[in-house]
Amino acid sequence: ASPAQKLVFNRVNGKRPQVLLQQVSAPEECYTLAHEENVRFVYEAWQQVEQQLDGSRSGESACGPVQYVEKTPNPGLKNFVPIDLEEWWAQQFLAKIENCS
């Protein structure tokens, strides 16, 4: 399946909009040492889980993490398609523009 198409917003005829909004500079994000340690811990723990899952799939390990798979899938979810949030936000943005015009 080909990837979903994304909306790209280009300027009309290369012109700038008549009203320019002032750019608000966001303050730089500061991370504490504790935050960085937590991120590193979660990342390393997840890497171990993925390695163990890969090992159990290839038959290397008899115990370890188990990936959940439904034994009897819900028939109501047979045609479920996850939402593309980027596309949804783009549609909301376009709808606001159209309503303001």
Which tens digits make up the pLDDT trace of 70-82?
Answer: 888 889 888 888 8
- SS3 for 37? helix
Q: Is residue 74 one of the residues assigned to a domain? A: no
User: Full-prediction pTM beyond 0.75?
Assistant: no
Q: Is residue 45 one of the residues assigned to a domain? A: yes
Which tens digits make up the pLDDT trace of 49-98?
Answer: 888 888 776 666 567 777 778 888 889 888 888 888 889 999 999 998 88
Report the Cα 96 to chain-centroid distance in Å: 23
Q: Is residue 35 one of the residues assigned to a domain? A: yes
Q: Is residue 63 one of the residues assigned to a domain? A: no
Residue 75: exposed, middle, or buried by beta-carbon count in 10 A (0-12, 13-18, 19+)?
Answer: exposed
Which structural domain range is residue 37 located in? 31-56
What total number of domains does the chain contain?
1
Q: Is residue 94 one of the residues assigned to a domain? A: no
